[in-house]
Amino acid sequence: MERAGRLISGLLCWLIAMSISAFGIKGVILSGGSTVQTGSNHISSVSERRFENIRQFSGSRICNLPAENQTERKMLVPGGTPFGIKLRTDGVMVVSVNKGSPADRAGIKPGDMISSVNGVPVQTNSGIAEAVQLSPSECAIVVSRGSSEKCIRLVPEAASGQYRIGTWVRDSAAGIGTLTYFDPATGSFGGLGHPVSDVTTGELMPISSGEITNAEIFSVMKGCDGEAGELCGDLCPGILGKLSANTPVGIFGTMNSEPTGSAIPMAFRDEAECGPAVILATIEGCEPQEYTIEIEKINMYAISGTKSMVIRVTDERLISEAGGIVRGMSGSPIIQNGMLVGAVTHVFLNDPTRGYAVFAQTMMEQMDEVSNAAAAGGYILWAVIQKFCNLIQ
């Protein structure tokens, strides 16, 4: 009897630990939000489709905060190279809901993530369709909305010989982005400087798996006042690495091999200065070029976001060929005083020579947070398994 009680207790602990671990990891990866353009062939502007007029700040900084407790300075290989992104969502995202449909009447909304239908986990559009056909009398659909999850019951409608619930959904995204840095100490990379979000809903796309590939830029659509330009390119064969996290300040993962280039120090936030700097960007082919910019404003109140710096392109080559910043440059590393200080994130629609940038330290902190959460989850799972094995011995 005592042994049975210990076994039940162990199982309960296992279930609790697994719930805590999964919630913690998912919270790290999916927290926050931003807007991103996605497409069948390119992600290019990623968060740059939603443009904002610049808010003018007085002075070179919003405020001068005390220097941070700096314990470690990372050495990173700056990127600037284009790379292909293939992302599969964790569940299936609802893009739109037909008015008056079963889904609409049941309360399903755009941005909801469908994880299962009638107890069957679904990861693809076809998976939902197949599950609905198997239960035409009633479907129990589990959806996540923000941090909450609930089960919605509805009766599908017959249309053209098929049963439908009345939603348009998306299960993946593919496109081209820009590599920001590679960490030779861990084999990890960071890119884009903002999340990959659904082009229709604007919601961050939770990731289940993904890869990065080689990519090549073959042309650039020049930006002008009132209209943003865009890099045009193709994904190339060959897997460069694994994509593991889509976060509010960039995408992260591991690369199969170290890219060419020398590592330089990562700048801490308080080391960024208003003044000259350069970006590494690719507007043709696969090799990045160095272009001059000016860091005009630094917003220390936005240290955890994608709009921490205001930058302006001063290089006449980039202005002549691209008009300034274009969709697809998101993630282009910013180098100042020999250090990696940040990455390009947005372009101003009314002035393509100017845009926003995120601190490199912010991206590194997010990457470390994701890595630590994954490691903690793995340790908890290992510890629970060990405990369970000890109980049944």
Q: How far apart are alpha carbons 327 and 47 in whole angstroms? A: 8
Our count of domains for the chain comes to 3
First to last CA, the chain: 15
Q: Could you tell me if residue 224 is inside a domain?
A: yes
pTM recorded for the entire structure: 0.73
Q: Which of 31-35, 108-112, 217-221 has the lowest mean pLDDT?
A: 31-35
Residues linked to residue 383 through DSSP beta bridges, in sequence order: none
Cβ(190)–Cβ(250) below 8 Å = yes
CA–CA dist 144, 128 (Å, integer):
15
Q: Is 194 a catalytic residue?
A: yes
Is residue 94 in some structural domain? no
Instruction: Kindly report the CATH number assigned to the domain that includes residue 132.
Output: 2.30.42.10
Same domain, 335 and 385: no
| 40 flagged as catalytic | no
**Out of 44, 116, 308, 330, which one is annotated catalytic?**
330
Domain end marker among 140, 165, 190:
165
Question: Which member of 171, 270, 315, 351 is catalytic?
Answer: 315
Q: How many CA atoms lie within 13 A of 4 on its CB side?
A: 1
Q: Is 183 a catalytic residue?
A: no
CB 241 within 8 A of CB 349: no
Same domain, 219 and 341: yes
- Tens of pLDDT, residues 134-182: 888 899 999 998 888 999 999 999 887 889 999 999 888 888 889 999 9
Q: How many CB atoms lie within 10 A of CB 255?
A: 19
Q: For residue 114, give its domain range.
A: 99-165
What average pLDDT does the chain have? 80
Residue of 172, 194, 244, 332 marked active site = 194
Q: What is the CATH number of the domain that holds 216?
A: 2.40.10.120
* pLDDT exceeds cutoff 70 at 18: no
Same domain assignment for residues 354 and 242: yes
- Residue 389: what pLDDT? 45
- Average pLDDT over every residue of 324-348: 95
What are the DSSP E strand ranges found in the chain? 75-78, 82-97, 113-117, 120-121, 139-145, 148-154, 157-159, 162-164, 167-183, 188-191, 207-221, 230-247, 250-255, 264-265, 275-281, 289-298, 309-313, 333-336, 339-348, 351-359
